[in-house]
Structure 1
Amino acid sequence: MKEGGVRSEYAGEGLSEDGVAPTPLRQVRAWVADAQARQAERGDVVEPTALSVATVDSDGHANIRTVLMRFLDERGPGFVTDLGSAKSREIVATGSVAASLTWPAMYRAVRFRGRAVPVGRDEIAAYFATRPWGSRISAWASDQSQPVADRATLVAAYERYAALYPDTGSPDDVPVPDGWGGWRIACDEVELWAGRRDRLHDRLVFTRVADGDLDTAGAWTLHRRQP
């Protein structure tokens, strides 16, 4: 193997200005739908809504982790988390967040940059009720990002809450923990990346120029960046 590892040619379809939807929301939704369809057909786009979320801690050190994008509407992409987690603490401290969706098999990615806005409790409760019972129990059992002595301690906490809130088959059998919520990205920039041969990739960027949401065409301008 040559130094630097194996290199792959990016044989993607690319993206042209005339092929982009008129708003960031419509374009991102189209690409997410493409990724979900490809996973259903070929199985090579695992977790199409896997979202890498980047924050900065109080010392200025960058942090990144992968969650699932649970919301996508005109207000922006969103995810759920423990409100006491490292990501939540860092979001509260700075107000800023960046995130990306990446589909290597399709040579596509989307980058979001903007401000973090709490997801409303009604939305959180509605989403929480759709989670499998075991996932709702784990939201109680895990004090996310905090140290734990060993896995046995974590399992014991899970079993304790499982006994407290037994599975009755009802979406209301496990209440939403007070410290569990979510964040939405109020975007100022949405970048669309499409891989091309010879590393001459396409990068088309929606940048906010006026008030409006992700589906307001007049709030955004589109320009191309060099790869």
Structure 2
Amino acid sequence: MSTTTPKKTDPGQGPVSAPPPAAPPPKVRRRAWTTLVGGGALVIGALVGLIVWMAASTTQQVLIAASDLDRYHVITADDLRVVPVTLDSSVASVSSTEAEALIGQRLTSAVPRGSVLAPADVSEEEFPPAGRTVVQVTFTAQQAGGVTLTPGDTVRVVVAPPTASDADPTYSAGEVAAVHTSAGGGVVDVLVPHADAVDLSVAIANGRATVVHDAGLPSSGGNDSDPDSIADESGEDE
């Protein structure tokens, strides 16, 4: 027969109880408006980044005029500047990579300082154009002071008769190609019909030719016994 020995209890120690269960962590309640503001900030930041990236990706290095350039001007390296710009696809421009190819070419139109060069502003064609010749009309220092001609202006080279007679003067319609002025006088390069070049050169050398400015009139024309005929067509009289 088996017997059970009772466990002895320390008179100074009571029964041991199990520890209480751990309390769950407090729940954090986020307000709805805080969530909306945070989401909106993320969207705005993404849009700003996209806009900046698109602007940077469409920026082009183009050529602009470093100073006011006249029509028929021969382009040099000093005439060109490279600037980064963002242009609409409809705006024609010349890339900075073409700068070297432009040097030595002539402008077909005047280009103001800071303007973007367009392919149509430059020409590789021979100068003077076929069928035309450049004649030079000189001015004294006193005459040059009143010269306001610029390349592209329409003019007439009027020739006085070789002798004092009742003969009417003749003229050749032309276009100013360049103006050179100095303290001692000035020279105007005029594009005239090729057939008139010899007679005009002789008249210029003999001091019988002068330049008349016909603003707004066509530059094509030839010799005529009536120098007022072109002015009459425009409703103006010299």
Relative to the length of structure 2, the TM-score reads 0.19
Which structure has more RCO (C-alpha within 8 Å, separation ≥ 6)? 1
Larger Rg computed on CA atoms = 2
Considering fraction of residues, name the structure with more strand.
1
Relative to the length of structure 1, the TM-score reads 0.19
Considering fraction of residues, name the structure with more helix.
1
